[in-house]
Structure 1
């Protein structure tokens, strides 16, 4: 037989856990020890249920509480623990850029007349959007993104994907361009950047005023896999809401809960705009997905999922741009996708120098003439204030 305690803490910044109490002496000691924390823990009441587990079957036998205002104590109690450590930033740690690296990057950009830039998820982490491959990215927690094959081949997978994506959309589009996006747009305006390709699907470049080629598509459009019709994502969101009113109401209430908590359905922000949903809170069979209005076909975000191919015409356009560059700058990307790596290799094959601004190793490090291991949001704004970079390029 063992005694367990189930707890609920009101108005508390203190984290607690239940323990087995072996004697009245231990019970009294724990009560006194926890009571001394009232002044710095903001605990109001500690409620609990004591359970005697016999032959594997729990039976709740007693309910009690501890009132810190009056000192009234009843029943069992829990041991107070230290608050959890703050969540790791989604932007990896890195040393600040050296003046030597800044000068080398300045020379690289200033000497170019046809600079092409390729951006990746590292540009968006500083805007609050997680990535996949960095030390703090989604892969580090075991997250597996949906594949094209899963989406096309399984209706249940599509239900789960669209439920997650619907839930994450409002938070995703709330992101604003960070210093990397703003600096690149200013470099474009000054004539320092002649072309830009992004692997990101969040349209933060567009919010900053740039219009790059979106190599992997965008979450802001929905495409029919049968007829190819494109729908604005906001209109699609409204259709999902009408078909799933209960889910929509639940999603709208997410603001009241901490990410990952029961109040937020265990949801956590993931790359590409969706939320990871705890299985306890989601029943796929109850979620309805809109069909294409023109042909009743399957609707999918206009994004290149893992296992899918970039459309041929887009590949050819990006390849032409990369080959036309007299220098290529990679910003915030590990260049692990073959679609991006081919572009870097194509520029290198044409004899163009390659510069990489990214935290951590990349697939293209062997091709780089210059590699800076620092946050792009710390480097590019400084670059704009150096020498002739602050004025438009001469034609």
Structure 2
């Protein structure tokens, strides 16, 4: 079985690096995005770039290449392999995820999340489809919408980190699972406490995986599923409710994403290189239906060069608050919910470096 990490075709990267993107002033970008969204009934697709201002690194930088060239994700078939080899992959995955989940869990919505929440609250954006698994779109609007409405209006295309499911279908809350990992690995719980106390946060990928060096993964214990134990069965084959590389999204999620595109009047994509086909095909589907499509991303994408696609090369955090004000006009000040949302949101991007600041375990 040969499975590769999705990437932007090399020809697009070379073309993008050879040609300078046309510089656009923020005010010009605001006007264009606002004009695009003002008719309403828009669907939005977001990617990892939208969460960068929350301190969560994107997979790829402004040149479209992986920021961490040594990134080696675990594939779905590796994680779910019942053999001893699969057990080794699970130990590696869950140790790294045990350390990497808290920074993602504790991340706060940034100004882009809150601006989009304002557009959702006012029904300018009727459906939001996110490739991100960090739950930040939910956090940005949870004080206004209940869970049922969030689940109806926000589709997590690639799943979420908030829960864990075993190979027999039993679900566990992620915080409870973190506690199980802590209880089974007191030495790593102490290490995690030290990281938090010293602020030595590992380099964390958007999926909650971290970079580690000098680690003996064989010593990490992945506990059995408690529900399986209650059924007199040992089973530590567990994964977060996230779509791994090599795993397909469910038919239900795929159909719903297509339905959301089909029922919108226009599609805005933000902070995504569209390297994964699950997102790229949504853009293609909208274009096949002759819907207006606007792509907002800093750097090259898989869609660059597609006829009929309009692209603005700028970071969403630079413009989205002003976009909301331009779309809603003077009315944004009279809506206390919108006014509050436009005051919310952090801007704390991760360090702009290319090196793996990997914590090392003392020998």
SS at 1:319 equivalent: helix
SS at 1:194 equivalent: strand
Aligned to 2:36: 108
Instruction: Report the alpha carbon displacement of residue 135 of structure 1 after superposing the two structures with TM.
Output: 4.1
Match of 2:87 among 149, 155, 173: 155
Question: Contact between 2:44 and 2:127, CA under 8 Å: does it hold in 1?
Answer: yes
Aligned to 2:120: 188
Distance 1:204 1:292 in 2: 28
Q: Give a deviation string over 1:316-360, Cα, whole Å, max 9, x none.
A: 111111111110000111111000011111111111110011101
Segments of 5+ residues of structure 1 without an aligned counterpart are 1-93
Q: Does the C-alpha gap of structure 1 residues 238 and 146 become closer, same or farther in structure 2, counting only changes over 3 Å? A: same
Distance 1:275 1:346 in 2: 34
Instruction: Report the alpha carbon displacement of residue 288 of structure 1 after superposing the two structures with TM.
Output: 0.8
Match of 1:214 among 131, 156, 167: 156
Instruction: Report the alpha carbon displacement of residue 364 of structure 1 after superposing the two structures with TM.
Output: 2.2
Instruction: Report the alpha carbon displacement of residue 268 of structure 1 after superposing the two structures with TM.
Output: 2.4
Match of 2:238 among 285, 299, 317: 299
Instruction: Report the alpha carbon displacement of residue 257 of structure 1 after superposing the two structures with TM.
Output: 4.7
Q: Does 1:391 align with 2:324?
A: no
CA-atom RMSD in angstroms = 2.2
Instruction: Report the alpha carbon displacement of residue 115 of structure 1 after superposing the two structures with TM.
Output: 0.5
Q: Give a deviation string over 1:242-290, Cα, whole Å, max 9, x none.
A: 111111111111135564xxxx7xx422221122110x1x222211112
Match of 2:110 among 156, 178, 181: 178
SS at 1:173 equivalent: helix
Match of 1:144 among 55, 65, 72: 72
Q: Does 1:285 align with 2:218?
A: yes
Instruction: Report the alpha carbon displacement of residue 374 of structure 1 after superposing the two structures with TM.
Output: 0.6
Q: Give a deviation string over 1:296-334, Cα, whole Å, max 9, x none.
A: 431101100111100111111111111111100001111
Q: Does the C-alpha gap of structure 1 residues 157 and 389 become closer, same or farther in structure 2, counting only changes over 3 Å? A: farther
Aligned to 1:339: 278
Q: Does the C-alpha gap of structure 1 residues 223 and 352 become closer, same or farther in structure 2, counting only changes over 3 Å? A: same
Segments of 5+ residues of structure 2 without an aligned counterpart are 1-21, 143-149, 229-233, 333-363
Question: Contact between 1:345 and 1:367, CA under 8 Å: does it hold in 2?
Answer: no
Match of 2:131 among 192, 195, 199: 199
SS at 2:226 equivalent: coil
Q: Does 1:378 align with 2:318?
A: yes
Match of 1:319 among 242, 258, 264: 258
Aligned to 2:146: none
Distance 1:387 1:157 in 2: 48
Instruction: Report the alpha carbon displacement of residue 389 of structure 1 after superposing the two structures with TM.
Output: 4.5
Q: Does the C-alpha gap of structure 1 residues 329 and 390 become closer, same or farther in structure 2, counting only changes over 3 Å? A: farther
Instruction: Report the alpha carbon displacement of residue 130 of structure 1 after superposing the two structures with TM.
Output: 0.9
TM-score scaled by structure 1?
0.69
Higher helix share: 2
Instruction: Report the alpha carbon displacement of residue 161 of structure 1 after superposing the two structures with TM.
Output: 0.8
Distance 1:308 1:294 in 2: 24
Structure 1 or 2, whichever has the larger Rg, is 1
TM-score scaled by structure 2?
0.75
